[in-house]
Amino acid sequence: MFFLMMVMLVGLILGLVAVASNPSPYFAALGLVVVAGFGCGVLASHGGSFLSLVLFLIYLGGMLVVFAYSAALAAEPYPESWGSYPVVVSMLIYVAGVCLVSGVFWAGWYESSWVSVDEFGEFSVARGDTEGVALMYSLGGGMLVISAWVLLLALFVVLELTRGLSRGTLRAV
């Protein structure tokens, strides 16, 4: 369990570095999807499996809007990839910064702190995230509907902003 958690956290950090260091929206959107996957994996391994699924689906809906907006406004025919020199240099700088900050705070971390909610099963009668699911659908159901409506509205706003000269959203560049 510890090895899987460390792989997820390292993937999360490397995905964040890939997003922060890349100026091209195509590769940055791919990095954001990777970060969302690893982040929801960390959340699911701590016992919030349903919450991580809902977060992943909502986040990917938001990413669809952001990717459509950024891809429509990107006018570069040959974007910089992760292998180009400036991107590699900024990735190395970010990784060195993460290593320095983690070296400062390393003394307080121990393996025994990685305990999921389900390992305390003898103290509860339900799974770890069932109470959150009940609250999300009872008190937070309106917020879920509002969030879905805002994402749909943002998608239409992005499509209208990138339409350009009444030729529609899918135009030849």
- What percent of the chain is modeled with pLDDT above 90? 2
| Cβ–Cβ < 8 Å for 78, 66 | no
pLDDT over 70 at 153, yes or no: yes
User: In the chain, what are the domain boundaries?
Assistant: 1-72+128-168
What is the biggest distance separating any 2 CA atoms in the chain, rounded to whole angstroms? 64
pLDDT over 60 at 169, yes or no: no
Start-to-end Cα distance in the chain: 49
Q: 52-97, pLDDT tens digit by residue?
A: 887 788 777 777 777 777 676 666 667 777 778 888 898 899 999 9
| Predicted pLDDT at 56 | 82
